[in-house]
Structure 1
C-alpha cells in the first residue's frame, strides 16, 4: 500500500519524569531532560533540534508537568505555550500518547504523530531524519504502528526488547522494515543474553509513530476505559475550560505505559497480523539511563580520554586511576588509585557510588523522601 503524497506529521515530546536516575544533578524541578548532559544544549533542546527538518516548532506538542513546564518553555521559546501541556497527575506514557492523538484527530485524524522521549541521545542526525521519513510513510499507509529498534550491543536488562519477524519491502523507493512478533519488557540476564545471540531482537527505543486515528482505534480495542476521559480533555483543548477538564479527568485514567496498554496487547498475533513494524534505530541512539551510561557515551564519542576516566572539572590529576566518572565543575579533581567510581558534586549534595551501582541511584532519592529531605529531591 502506498502512503499519501502529503502527510501531516506532528512530533510529540514526552517530557515528564521526576529526575531520580541522575541525582544529585537532576531534581523534580530540573529533571534530566532540561540538563545539558551531552553537549551545550539541554536534552530536550537537542530532541527538538533533530526533529526540525521534519516539522515546524509551532506544530510540536510537549507533554510535561507543572514543575518543568516553565523551564521547558524558556528552553523552547519557539514552541507555543499552549502546546506545552502540563499533566495534573503522573500517569505514565499511555494517557499522554492517547491525549496527543485525540487532540490532533480533531483537525485531521490521519495526522501522523511521532512519540519521542525528551532525554535521549542521537549521534547521526541525518540518519535519524532518513529513518523518520521512512517511518512516517509506513505509519501513514494504513492502520500501522511503527517502532524504532536499536541494535543491541550487550545483554542489557534495563531495556525492553522487540522480537522482529519477517522482512517487508515498503515504499516507492523500497526500504526494508520487519513485522514485529512480540515485545518483552526488561528481561533477566539469561533471557537478555539469549536475545542478543538470536540476532532478531532489538532494544525498544521508546520512539513510536502512528496516525491519530490508528492510535485511537487501538485504545478502543485494547484499553477502552481510557477513551472517554481523554476524549473529553481533547474536546476542551483550546477552550477556557481546558485546565479544569484536564485537572478533573486526567487523574481518573489508568497509570500505564503505552508498551503494556497497546503494544504488547497488539503484538504476536502471527506474522504481519499485528500491523506493527520495526525500523532500525541505527543512528547512534542512547537513552543515557544512568551515570554509567553517560560515562560510556563519553568514552565512545569523545576523543583523548585517558585511562577511561571522564572528568568534568576545571582540571584533573589522574594517578593509577581508571574507568571513573567525575562531575565537579570549578574544582581540581585528583584521582589516586581508584577504579570505576561515579562522583557527582552539586552545591548541596555529593554522590559517591560505583558504576556498577549507578542504576540504583533512585534508592537514594527514595531514602531522602523517607527522611523528609524534600529540599534535596
Structure 2
C-alpha cells in the first residue's frame, strides 16, 4: 500500500465539560495547552501523526462552532479538510461522514481516527503500532483498534477483551466493556486479557462501509443522500444530521462486528479526561503540587493542582491538600481532587443561575 493511500481523521468535537472552568463551550480542552508544553492538545495530535501522513491527507471533524479555531491552530491542514458538524451526534455519524468523504477522494483509502485531546508520551512506539495497523487494515477486512496496556484498575476507561489464540502483534477482539465498577476492573487486570480502549481506530474505507451497511443501515441510507467533496455537501449534511441516530462508534459498530482486531500498545497514554489525570501527568514540585505559575507560595500544602490563568497574579496557599484550584477570567474553582467527576454537575447547577451560561 502506498503511503498516499493513508489518511487521518482527528475528532475534535467535544466540549470537555469535566475540564471546566479551563475548558469552556467557546474554548474546549482540545484547543488548550493543558499540560503547559507550548502546544495545544489538537496540535500535539497533529504533530504526532504528521510524521507519517501528509498534510493534505489529514482531516479534522469538529463542531461547526470550532472550525475557525481549528484553522487557527492547524494552519498546515488545507482549509477544506476541516469539517464542521451541525449537531453533536456522538462518534458513529462523524466516522461514517468522514469515511464517505475520504472514499470520495480515494476509494482505496485506509484511515486512522484519532481523538484530538489524548496524551501519548511514547511517540516512537505509537508510530510503529500505527504503521502495523495500516498494514493490517489495508490487506484485510479488519476493523483495527489500539488497546492500551492497563496500569491500574481504572473505572473511567472502557476495556477491550481479546482472544489470546496465538503469539502475535495483534489479536481478535472478544468483548468491549464500558466503564466498569472497581471490582470488575480489578478482575479484568488480573485476567491479563484486557486492554484499555483508547478510541484510536484504523480501517479501510470499504471495510468500515460494509460494517455500517450491516449494523447501522438507516444511518448509512441517510448519508448516501449527499454528494461528498462537492458544493452541496454542507447543506446536505445540515439536512440529514437532525434525522441521524445519536450513537457511539463503539455501541453502533465495534461491539457487534465480528472482524475487530486489537494491537496491544504501551504508549504512555492518558485521555486526560479529568483534572486528576492532568495532575498525574504534570510536573510536580517537592510537595507534589502541580503548578506552572511563577508567583505561587505554598505552605503545608501538598498534592494540589493549581492552574491560574493570570500569570501576573501572586497566589498564596496554606494548608491545602489534594485539591484542584483553577482560576480563569470568569471563574474560580476550588474542589477536592476526589470530586473531579462532579465538575459536570457544578456546570449544570451554574446554568440555573440568571445569566449563568456566561460562565460556561
Q: TM-score range by the shorter chain?
A: over 0.9
Q: Is the 8 A contact 1:167 1:177 kept in 2?
A: no
Matched, 1:191 2:178: no
What is the distance in 2 between the residues matched to 1:167 and 1:126?
27
**TM-score with structure 2 setting the length:** 0.95
Matched, 1:243 2:234: yes
Alignment of 1:218-229 (within 5 A): 218-229=211-222
Q: Is the 8 A contact 1:28 1:67 kept in 2?
A: no
1:322-362 alpha-carbon deviations (Å, 9 max, x no partner): 11101114222223221100000001110111110112211
Q: Match of 1:14?
A: 11
Distance of aligned partners of 1:219 and 1:79 in 2 relative to their CA distance in 1, 3 Å threshold? same
Distance of aligned partners of 1:5 and 1:167 in 2 relative to their CA distance in 1, 3 Å threshold? farther
Deviation, structure 1 residue 207: 0.2
What is the distance in 2 between the residues matched to 1:137 and 1:153?
28
Matched, 1:257 2:248: yes
Provide the secondary structure at the position in 2 that maps to 1:361.
helix
What is the distance in 2 between the residues matched to 1:158 and 1:109?
37
Matched, 1:286 2:283: no
Q: Match of 1:335?
A: 317
Q: Match of 2:175?
A: 182
What is the distance in 1 between the residues matched to 2:120 and 2:149?
13
Provide the secondary structure at the position in 2 that maps to 1:318.
strand
Deviation, structure 1 residue 246: 1.1
Q: CA RMSD in A?
A: 1.5
Q: Is the 8 A contact 1:220 1:227 kept in 2?
A: yes
Q: Match of 2:306?
A: 326
What is the distance in 1 between the residues matched to 2:263 and 2:275?
28
Q: Match of 2:280?
A: 296
What is the distance in 1 between the residues matched to 2:170 and 2:232?
43
Provide the secondary structure at the position in 2 that maps to 1:239.
coil
Deviation, structure 1 residue 280: 2.1
Deviation, structure 1 residue 262: 0.4
Matched, 1:374 2:354: no
Deviation, structure 1 residue 6: 5.8
Matched, 1:43 2:41: yes
Structure 1: gaps (5+ residues): 170-174, 267-273
Equivalent pairs, count: 356
Structure 1 runs (4+) deviating above 6 angstroms are none
What is the distance in 2 between the residues matched to 1:12 and 1:103?
11
What is the distance in 2 between the residues matched to 1:110 and 1:164?
28
Deviation, structure 1 residue 168: 4.7
Distance of aligned partners of 1:242 and 1:6 in 2 relative to their CA distance in 1, 3 Å threshold? closer
Q: Match of 1:201?
A: 194
Q: Match of 1:270?
A: none
Structure 2: gaps (5+ residues): none
Q: Match of 1:73?
A: 71
Q: Match of 1:55?
A: 53
Provide the secondary structure at the position in 2 that maps to 1:314.
coil
1:45-97 alpha-carbon deviations (Å, 9 max, x no partner): 00000001211112111110122111110111111121111101110000001
Q: Match of 2:210?
A: 217
Q: Is the 8 A contact 1:342 1:355 kept in 2?
A: yes
**TM-score with structure 1 setting the length:** 0.91
1:211-263 alpha-carbon deviations (Å, 9 max, x no partner): 00100100111111100121223x2x222212211110122110000000001
Q: Match of 1:307?
A: 287
Deviation, structure 1 residue 281: 2.9
Q: Match of 1:269?
A: none
Deviation, structure 1 residue 139: 0.8
1:25-61 alpha-carbon deviations (Å, 9 max, x no partner): 1111100100011211010000000001211112111
Provide the secondary structure at the position in 1 that maps to 2:18.
coil
1:141-177 alpha-carbon deviations (Å, 9 max, x no partner): 11101111111111111110000112556xxxxx611
Q: Match of 1:271?
A: none
Alignment of 1:69-148 (within 5 A): 69-148=67-146
Distance of aligned partners of 1:238 and 1:6 in 2 relative to their CA distance in 1, 3 Å threshold? closer
